[in-house]
Structure formats: structure tokens, C-alpha cells
Chain A
Amino acid sequence: MDYVPAFARWIHFMAGVMWIGLLYYFNFVQVAALKAATADGTAAGISKHVAPRALLFFRWAAVVTWLAGAALLGDKFVDAFLLRRGMAGIGVGAWLGTIMLFNVWALIWPNQQKILGMKPATDEEKNKARRVAFLASRTNTMLSVPMLFFMAAGWSHRAIFGL
């Protein structure tokens, strides 16, 4: 049944582009834009209309990417996560992607809800939430560098590991 891996790879790529694309948007564009917009009093537009929409697609694209990746691994899922039977390369990519998914749902999203006023929070809690969400987002940006390397090379370009 070759249809499953073919469609899983296609969906994995599309959702992954949306997830990591929005992650890079947050880190390369929105952080600096919000700082400048806060300084001239125009941050509300971004916080109210842009960030919630971007976060919606961001967090669900992360889920779809992970599920499609799991489907793509298929019966090699366990071997990949246990880094055995020649699956260490893609396995490290899968672990990094999984840590990033955890960061999205356990750190970035709950803290962004406080920052954007979707959840009640004091000013002090909001300030703490800002720092945690920022560092979790930056951590994911850092992890995306090795994650994409191992996703790209880990399975189909084994010569890069001297094999």
C-alpha cells in the first residue's frame, strides 16, 4: 500500500511548511514588529487580529505535521524513536519534532493565551508568560535547525553519515 506513505509525506510537508513558516514569522517578524508597534502605540492591531489567527494555524499545523510524520514512519515508528535498526538519523529528527510539538502546546500556547488576554492574568503573570513563550519559541527555532537537517538527511541520504 504505497498510497499511505505518499499522502503522508505530502501532508507532512504541507503542514510542516505552515508550522515552521509561522514559527519563523513569529521569530523573524512579529517579535520585532510588536516591539516597534508597542513603542508607537499600534500593537493592538497585531495582538488582536494577527497573532490569534497565526497561533491557530501554528498549533494545529504542528499536530497535523506530527501525525502525518508518524503515519509516514509507519511500522518503523518504534525503531525510529528507539534510534535502532539504522533509524537513528530520522529518529533524532522525530524526537526533535516531538519536543517542538510539546513546546507549542505546553509552553507557547498557554502563555500566549495569557499575553493576548484570552485567559485572565495579572500584569506580573503576563510579563512572566511573555518571557516563557518567547524562550520556548526561540528554543523551537533553534531546534528547527537540526530537526530539518535530520528530516532531510536522516532517512534517504544515509551516505552523509558515512553509510
Chain B
Amino acid sequence: MKNPLDSLWGTFISGLVLTAILYFVVKSILASAGA
């Protein structure tokens, strides 16, 4: 499999996917803490 970081589009899309994952992680932490 090709490394997505070898292309700029792959890099950007990987960043967007990571943003979505971290968004739900943070949302769940904040919700469980009742912040």
C-alpha cells in the first residue's frame, strides 16, 4: 500500500480523518466530564 504522506492530497485527507476522530474523542471526554 502506498504511503498517503507521499502525496499532498493523501496528507491533507489523512489530516481531515484525524481531525474527525479526535473531534469525537474530545466530545466524549467533555461529555463524560460534564464540562
Contacts and interface: CB of A to CB of B under 8 A. Distances in A.
A11 interface: no
B4 to A, nearest CB: 8
Interface of A: 27-28, 83-86, 88-89, 92, 135, 138-139, 141-146, 149-150, 154, 158, 161-163
A78 B11 CA distance: 31
A88 B34 CA distance: 12
23 contacts: A28-B8, A84-B33, A86-B30, A88-B30, A88-B33, A89-B30, A92-B26, A138-B6, A141-B12, A141-B15, A142-B5, A142-B11, A142-B14, A142-B18, A143-B18, A145-B18, A146-B15, A146-B19, A150-B22, A161-B27, A161-B30, A162-B30, A162-B31
Interface pairs A-B: 5 shortest CB-CB: A145-B15, A86-B35, A138-B5, A146-B19, A88-B29
Task: Tell me if B's interface is mostly helix, strand, loop or mixed.
Answer: helix
Contact of A145 (B5, B19, B25, B33): B19
Contact of A27 (B11, B16, B33): B11
A89 B27 CA distance: 8
Contacts of A28: 8
A1 to B, nearest CB: 26
A149 B18 CA distance: 11
Contacts of B23: 149, 161
Contacts of A144: 15
Contacts of A83: 26, 29
Given A135-B5, A162-B31, A163-B35, A89 B26 contact: yes
A161 B26 contact: yes
B26 A150 contact: yes
A85 B34 CA distance: 9
